[in-house]
A and B are shown apart, each in its own frame.
Chain A
Amino acid sequence: GIQVEQSPPDLILQEGANSTLRCNFSDSVNNLQWFHQNPWGQLINLFYIPSGTKQNGRLSATTVATERYSLLYISSSQTTDSGVYFCAVEQKTSGSRLTFGEGTQLTVNP
């Protein structure tokens, strides 16, 4: 099956700092999604981005499908950005199943 690697595994920031999270995947994909899991365990859809670039407020994401990676940018981080960020991909041959990376644990300190 497809392999999904996220980096870094842990990240600690001061409020106001910027950060970049990376997701590498090992095969062609139909779907790539970024999620934020907040401290209460809720999974929040951030981006559906199998290719290209999208922006939503302080967050933006870029997927370069031909090179098999995606980046999530967080600018001017806030304490409410803390939590785990997951990348998940659907392999083109997998029949509509998402494979998740192990996540990046982000802590934003005041």
Chain B
Amino acid sequence: NAGVTQTPKFRVLKTGQSMTLLCAQDMNHEYMYWYRQDPGMGLRLIHYSVGEGTTAKGEVPDGYNVSRLKKQNFLLGLESAAPSQTSVYFCASSTGLGVSYEQYFGPGTRLTVT
């Protein structure tokens, strides 16, 4: 049981390049989330999904797109990277079924945009 995994762990992009971050969970969770963490701050929600085929905007969605084609995977895309998107990105998942709202986090992806 790997929990929540993220690919890649590190990435350096040039301004204007695109990339996709992959999050996978093997806990059969309905809900998945993407957060970003900037230096000295807590995490902020970018986008989330309450089930396969659904996505919704969080607190800081601009410049990002997401897709949830399979229940176990949640992809975060940057179409045209900007230096302001330099951050650490965390994925999380939860059952979201009202029994327990606990969120489980992946190890993070450190992204630098130059």
Output the least CB separation between A25 and chain B (Å). 13
How many contacting A-B pairs (Cβ < 8 A)? 59
The answer to whether A43 touches B108 (Cβ under 8 A) is: yes
Output the least CB separation between B93 and chain A (Å). 11
The answer to whether A50 touches B101 (Cβ under 8 A) is: yes
A48 CA to B45 CA, complexed, in Å? 19
A88 close to chain B: CB less than 8 A: yes
Point out the residue from A33, A95, A101, A103 that lies within 8 Å of B102, measured CB to CB.
Answer: A33
The answer to whether B103 touches A31 (Cβ under 8 A) is: yes
- When C-beta atoms are compared, the residue in chain B nearest to A42 turns out to be B107
| Residues of chain A at interface, number, CB under 8 A | 24
The answer to whether A48 touches B100 (Cβ under 8 A) is: yes
B33 close to chain A: CB less than 8 A: yes
Mark interface residues in A84-110 (1 if CB within 8 Å of B CB, else 0): 001010100001111111110000000
Output the least CB separation between B26 and chain A (Å). 17
- When C-beta atoms are compared, the residue in chain B nearest to A48 turns out to be B102
A96 and B50 contact, Cβ closer than 8 Å, known pairs A41-B88, A45-B102: yes
A95 CA to B96 CA, complexed, in Å? 9
A30 close to chain B: CB less than 8 A: yes
A88 CA to B105 CA, complexed, in Å? 13
- Residues of A whose CB lies within 8 Å of any CB of B are 1, 4, 30-31, 33, 35, 41-43, 45, 48, 50, 86, 88, 90, 95-103
**Known contacts A35-B105, A43-B108; 9 further A-B pairs (Cβ under 8 A):** A45-B102, A45-B104, A48-B101, A95-B50, A96-B101, A97-B45, A97-B48, A97-B58, A98-B43
